[in-house]
Amino acid sequence: MERLLLTLVLVALILLSAYGILVGWRHRAARQSDLAAPPAAPADLGDELCAPLSGLYVSTTNAGSWQDRIVAHTLGRRAAATVHLSRRGVLIDRVGETAIFIPAADLVAVGAAPGIAGKVMAMPDGVLVITWDLGGVQVDSGLRLDDLQAQAEWIQTARQLIPGVIPGATTNDGATA
pLDDT at 171 over 60: no
| Closest C-alpha to 54, from 129, 117, 124, 147 | 147
Beta-carbon count within 10 A of 135 CB: 12
Q: Could you state, in order of their start, the residue ranges of all structural domains in the chain?
A: 1-31, 53-159
Q: Angle at Cα 104 formed by Cα 53 and Cα 160, nearest 5°?
A: 75
What CATH number does the domain located at 53-159 have? 2.30.29.30
pLDDT at 96 over 50: yes
pTM for the whole thing?
A: 0.79
pLDDT at 177 over 50: no
Report the amino acid identity of residue 38: P
Residue 104 in contact with residue 89, Cβ under 8 Å? Answer: yes
